[in-house]
Amino acid sequence: MSSEYPDVLGDLVDARHRFEVNGVHYVMIAEPTTIAPGEVVNLRCWLQNCWNVPVGVVIAVHLPSKPAPPFSIIQNRTDVPLEAAEVGEVTIPIACTSEAVPNEYVISVTLGVKVESRGLYVRSKEELAVLQD
């Protein structure tokens, strides 16, 4: 490897509990963590490409549907292109209906990464191993 890029994600957010999918580090949080019916929660996703080639990231949000759909979203799938070694943030608003019954709900998210061409890893893999312990 000719050069290594700094851990920008660690400087931007409290990234001690980050994850990795196919060479992309990510951190996700919901803000605020508690909302009332009729309010909006923002799913914030920080992404850090660890390759020296562009990648495509797909974020899919899965909302609870029973007993009645308590949430709505503009689109369930968000495609995020990241350039080589790029770091970025995506905010996905999720609206809670005014008819929602107060309760705890689980919103699940899947993240996929597609690397178009073979590249080199340009960020330290050691940082991630230490952070996930």
- The answer to whether residue 3 sits within a structural domain is no
Query: How would residue 130 be classed by pLDDT, with cut points 50, 70 and 90?
Result: very low
Single pTM value for the model? 0.85
Are 65 and 76 in contact by the 8 Å Cβ rule? The answer is: no
Total domains in the fold of the chain: 1
Could you tell me the CATH number of the domain that includes residue 20? Answer: 2.60.40.10
16, 33, 76 from 27: Cα distances, Å:
9, 15, 19
pLDDT, one tens digit per residue, over 44-79 is: 999 999 999 999 999 999 999 887 889 999 999 999
Pairing of strands 24-31, 87-96: unpaired
- The answer to whether residue 1 sits within a structural domain is no
Domain span at 13:
8-121
- The answer to whether residue 64 sits within a structural domain is yes
- The answer to whether residue 2 sits within a structural domain is no
Give the span between the Cα atoms of 34 and 39, in whole angstroms: 10
Can you point out the beta strands (E) in the chain? Answer: 19-21, 24-31, 40-49, 55-62, 71-72, 77-82, 87-96, 108-115
- The answer to whether residue 17 sits within a structural domain is yes
- The answer to whether residue 71 sits within a structural domain is yes
